[in-house]
Structure 1
Amino acid sequence: MLAQRPSFRVIVTAGAVASLILFTFLLFLGRGPRDISSKYVLKTPYKPVKEKPTKECPSPAPVHNETWQFQTERDALNYGLSEEQCLSAFPKLFLEIDKSVAQRQQHITFAELESRTVEDNQARVIVHKGEVYIVEFGEMTNTASRARATLLALQRALEAVPDRHLLPSIEFFFTASDWPHDPESGPPIFSYTKRDAHNATWLMPDFGYYSWPEASISTYNEARRRMIEIDEGEINADGTRSPGLAFQDKKKQLIWRGNVDTNKEIRGKLLEASQGQSWASVHHFVWGKDEVLPLEDHCRYMFAAQTEGHTYSGRGKYLLNCRMVLVAHSMIWREAHHAAMIASGPEANYVEVGTDYSDLPRKMEFLIDNPEVAQRIADNAVRTFRDRYITPAAEACYWRHLIRKYASVCDFKPSLTQIKDGKKVPRATHLEDWLLLKTMMKTDTQQKKKVENIKTENTKTENTQNKEQT
């Protein structure tokens, strides 16, 4: 008996799908000019799968279970995943940590740390049995809230696990500045960003994962909630969700608000390439002068531009909480989630353009003319980032993995005390005590200023009365 031949319809469908995947791959990978007519072929219908709302509360995540798999609804806000669960859920998250370990030719010594002094925007910290202690806190003229957010995020990640006292103890420096300090050599230092050549810099989570009040952004969880509600709808009293903004109903424009002066070479090219284009909502922004566009309102656009500034740009992780297409130039400043970014093929979760933005108009026209491709990229981004790699659970996992790996290349255990004038005295203050002392000092300063103001006013009143009497 002859084998049954596949139908003509099956052959055509399979060929069309394969061609679309290959075409998309070639389009976004290439940088040269292409025949504009080719963008109108092979439009495969795309039907996203919509999850049904549920009123049931998710069950707790099982611990030490070989069959465990990360589930966004259940695990995204779980700061206390086990080490095994973290490695299973976020296999691409720890690339930069592993690179820092591999780059160390010798163990980190206490003498090496002692050779560094705490400068502006820096702090020296000890993690001892899962608790955070401050050894020294430098001048933080513009970065104090960043530093405190970093310390609180670290403490939160530690407190979330029941066996935190079993974590190794470490001592380290970190900078709350955008710029790594002595990035290519010298004693190690933790930083929000780094470049490949920065061998002395260990990448830590951005302070925005806790809060960024200066930019009118609330806590990271609150920002996520507002952004997700634009796409998925608000949660009703009965546990269901009201309809959100469908991707195809969003504004078919590229949104960007930023200060060009922080990186004129790149951001200036973005403005030039998008000037006068109907698909562009790209504008220069000046803090304190122009009106701030709320983060969640970015989610009403189909596309968002991500550009580096002096170094990295902290807005990227926020934008990835929207169901939108992130359009970014090739970035040289690393963040932890960058290892999960894919620019081409069927799994593409963002679109990469050249640093001169000469290919931006062509790629934007293609995406607008092929909305099913744009939605596929946006949905891939949601699954990869919003629902996994930039969740609070991922951030907490990263902190604990950083502690373990940093400790693996240290040859000393930090001490909370020191001998001074023949007596044992503390050399570090617990984070909670330190924060309370800072609050008390601030209150005392305010009280002193208040008393001084009262005295000044009383003196002025007395002088006025004396003049009147005279």
Structure 2
Amino acid sequence: MAQQLKPAWGVSSRFPTIIRFRSLVVIACSLALVLFASFFVIDFKNKNYQLQLQLHQLFRNNHFFEKPCYAPSHSATDLLQDGTWQHEVPAKWQFSASRDANNYGLSSEQCLAAFPKLFTEIDKSVKLRKETKNPITFDEINARKTLGQGMGRAMIYQGELYIIDYGDMTYTATRAKSTLHSLHRALVSMTDNESLPSIEFHFSADDFVWDSLKAEGGPVWSYSKRNTADIDEGDIDDNNIWLMPDFGYWAWPEVNIAPYREARRRIATVDAQFDDFQTKKKQLVWRGAMNTGAELREQLLEATRNKYWASVRAVDWTNEQSIADNMLPIEDHCRYMFLAHTEGRSFSGRGKYLLNCRSVFISHTLLWHEAHHAALLSSGPDANYVEVKRDFSDLEQKIEFLLDHPDVAERIANNSVKTFRDRYLTPAAEACYWRYLIRKWGEVCDFEPRLYDGKTNKLRGQPYEEWLLSAH
């Protein structure tokens, strides 16, 4: 009988194999449990993080975040001024009008380097708040329960513009929209606009802020303001007025002035026809309405009546014949050697257009300041305009001097171009001013606005892109 064959493996050889197999199963199960636990922990952390975000948003929607008004010791603009801001300006960078005039997106450092005199009026407002230890509070903003003619309430939240409230704009509709368009343009032209502080503010599209509206409390952004010394006794001072660029930086259709960049192009085109400054018309030109600033303007008409060196006429904007006979396109003012400027109800929106001309800008002593006021200089070799008395009593004397000294007149005109057309009244300067205003306003606020209403959880303001498509 043949011997029974035994399997190649017996009990003694099979046992280690079984142990090894079971060990592999245990290890595999353990790894699976570890992986499952890991995924569970990650998922838990994600859900926990999302919960934290929701709680954070809920908290944010129901509170105003209080923040130290003057801490840290260096504000954002201080850092800009001492050169330690997050961006660096190339050492050799200099503002060039031919390259940079229409650049709405200059960096903060470039803005400060290019326009050192532009921000003086803002700095005055900031200084007053700091010296009096009087930060802007939400209660101060919210104290204004109703909006007067031409007023609106808005906020900038993480670089986005929202319209909270919009008053009666019967006489100021295009002005208000032009101003908001310009502000929005300055925001979207900034690549890192989320770095701007979130702020809330009121603005006025009227020529100035009435005492009754100032009395309701709270600071207001406006086109013009006066020094306290120039305010009549008994009137409320303008210390709560913060200057903003006027509506003309967008457009001024009511008086047939083109959008600002187009108006500047037309002005430069006319000026290009006068390589020889002395070939311009040797007259003082003025066209304007008499229903605003009537006393000043009557004095100008009287001082220039029947003068060979004057082309001064009133325009009645309600009379088609008067418009046809007397209206002069803004760019054609630049054909004249001398340009008269008068204030109206407050500032005159015509001023910045005239300052774009290569002509001699002649103005009475100004009471109303605009955003670019600090760049005006009426004496010395760098003078960029000529100042006369408010009653124009010395106008003839100064005109005759300039006619007798054409080199002085040409130097002043060239200084005006250098200072204003090629620098402080460029679209680039306007955008820089808006962003500096936002930074400085945020610097002296002790609150950040809430985006959502705490009770309804709805947006407190209408996103600007949506607002501009709705009827107002």
Same fold (TM over 0.5): yes
Q: Per-residue displacement from partner, 1:322-359 (whole Å, max 9, x unpaired)? A: 10000101101001111111111111111110111111
Matched AA of 2:224: T
How far 1:261 sits from its partner (Å)? 3.3
Match for 2:115 among 62, 87, 90? 90
Structure 2 unaligned residues grouped into runs of 5+: 1-86, 229-237
The SS at the match of 2:378 is coil
Asked whether the 8 Å contact 2:223–2:371 carries over to 1, the reply is: no
Alpha-carbon displacement from aligned partner over 1:23-77 (angstroms, at most 9, x marks no partner): xxxxxxxxxxxxxxxxxxxxxxxxxxxxxxxxxxxxxxx9621321111101100
Match in the other structure for 1:424: 457
The answer on whether the counterparts of 1:260 and 1:284 sit within 8 Å (CA) in structure 2 is: yes
1:152 match: secondary structure: helix
Task: Give CA-to-partner distance per residue, 1:393-422, whole Å, 9 cap, x none.
Answer: 0000000000000001101111121033xx
Larger Cα-atom Rg: 2
1:263 to 280, 287, 293: 293
* Match among 432, 437, 446 for residue 470 of structure 2: 437
1:194 matched to which residue of 2? 225
Provide the C-alpha distance between the structure 2 equivalents of 1:76 and 1:361, rounded to a whole number of angstroms. Answer: 36
Structure 1: gaps of 5 or more residues = 1-61, 234-243, 443-470
2:137 to 109, 118, 136: 109
**Secondary structure of the corresponding residue to residue 377 of structure 2:** coil
> Where does residue 325 of structure 1 map in the other structure?
360
Is 1:278 matched with 2:308?
A: yes
Aligned length: 366
Tell me the amino acid that sits aligned with residue 99 of structure 1.
K
Kindly provide the amino acid, as one letter, of the partner of residue 280 in structure 1: A
Question: How many angstroms does 1:265 deviate by?
Answer: 2.3
> Offset of 1:294 from its aligned partner?
0.5
Structure 1 residues 167-246: aligned runs within 5 Å? 167-182=196-211, 186-197=217-228, 198-232=238-272, 244=274, 246=276
* Separation in 2, partners of 1:306, 1:360: 12
Task: Please give the alpha-carbon distance, in whole angstroms, between the structure 1 residues aligned to 2:164 and 2:103.
Answer: 30
Q: What letter corresponds to residue 202 of structure 2 in structure 1? A: F
Structure 1 residue 218, shift from structure 2 partner: 1.5
Q: Deviations over 1:243-284 (max 9, x none)?
A: x45321111000001123312321111111111100000112
Residue 369, structure 1, aligned to residue 404, structure 2: yes
The amino acid that maps onto 1:158 is L
Check whether the contact 1:80–1:393 (CA below 8 A) recurs between aligned residues: yes
C-alpha contact (below 8 Å) 2:105/2:189 kept by paired residues: yes
3-state SS of the aligned residue for 1:261? coil
Other-structure match for 1:146: 175
Task: Find the aligned partners of 1:416 and 1:177 in 2 and give their Cα distance.
Answer: 27
Provide the secondary structure at the position in 2 that maps to 1:218. coil
3-state DSSP of counterpart to 1:172: strand
Which residue of structure 1 lines up, in the alignment, with residue 105 of structure 2? 80
Q: More deviation in 116-125 or 297-306?
A: 116-125
Whole-angstrom distance in 2 between the partners of 1:214 and 1:431? 24
Whether 1:166 and 2:195 are equivalent positions in the alignment is yes
Q: CA deviation at 1:214?
A: 1.0
Offset from partner CA, 1:152-171 (integer Å, 9 cap, x none): 10010111111111110110
1:437 match: secondary structure: coil
The secondary structure found in structure 1 opposite 2:387 is strand
Cα distance in 1 for residues equivalent to 2:454 and 2:448? 16
Q: C-alpha root-mean-square deviation of aligned residues, in Å?
A: 1.5
The match for 1:65 among 65, 90, 101 is: 90
Q: Supply the distance in 2 between the matched residues of 1:427 and 1:164 (Cα, whole angstroms).
A: 20
Contact 1:231 1:246 in 2 (8 A): no
1:100 corresponding residue in structure 2: 125
The DSSP-based 3-state class of the residue aligned with 2:437 is: helix
Aligned to 1:399: 434
What is the aligned partner in structure 1 of residue 349 from structure 2?
A: 314
SS in structure 2 at match of 1:158: helix
Contact 1:175 1:181 in 2 (8 A): no
Structure 1 runs (4+) greater than 3 angstroms displaced = 181-185
Aligned counterparts, 1:101-140, within 5 A: 101-104=126-129, 105=132, 106-116=134-144, 117-140=146-169
- Shift in Å at residue 209 of structure 1? 0.5
Quick check: 1:343–1:351 contact (8 Å CA) kept in 2?
yes
State the distance in 2 between where 1:232 and 1:261 align. 34
Shift of residue 437 of structure 1?
Answer: 2.1
Paired-residue identity, %: 55
Opposite residue 370 of structure 1, the aligned amino acid is: H
Provide the C-alpha distance between the structure 2 equivalents of 1:270 and 1:382, rounded to a whole number of angstroms.
25
- Counterpart for residue 41 of structure 1: none
- 1: distance between equivalents of 2:355 and 2:293? 22
Q: 1:431-461: per-residue Cα shift (whole Å, max 9, x none)?
A: 11011122xxx8xxxxxxxxxxxxxxxxxxx
Q: What is the CA-CA distance between 1:321 and the residue it aligns to?
A: 0.9
- String of CA shifts for 1:291-336, please: whole Å, max 9, x gaps: 2210111010000001111111010100011100001011010011
Matched letter for residue 136 of structure 1: D
| Cα gap change, 1:181 to 1:127, in 2 (>3 Å) | farther
In 2, the alpha carbon distance for the partners of 1:119 and 1:309 equals: 21
Alpha-carbon distance in structure 1 between the residues aligned to 2:334 and 2:139? 49
Q: In structure 2, what is the Cα distance between the partners aligned to 1:436 and 1:75?
A: 31
Alpha-carbon distance between aligned partners in 1 of 2:391 and 2:410, rounded to the nearest angstrom: 25
| Length-normalised TM-score, structure 1 | 0.76
CA contact (8 A) 1:230 1:245 kept: no
My pick for the range that moved more, 277-286 or 181-190, is 181-190
Alpha-carbon separation, structure 1, partners of 2:372 and 2:136: 26
What's the CA shift for 1:184? 6.3
1:182-228 per-residue CA deviation (whole Å, 9 max, x = no partner) reads: 48662000000011121010000001001111111111000000010
SS of corresponding position for 1:323: coil
Tell me how far 1:80 sits from its aligned partner.
0.6
- Equivalent position of 1:253 in the other structure: 283
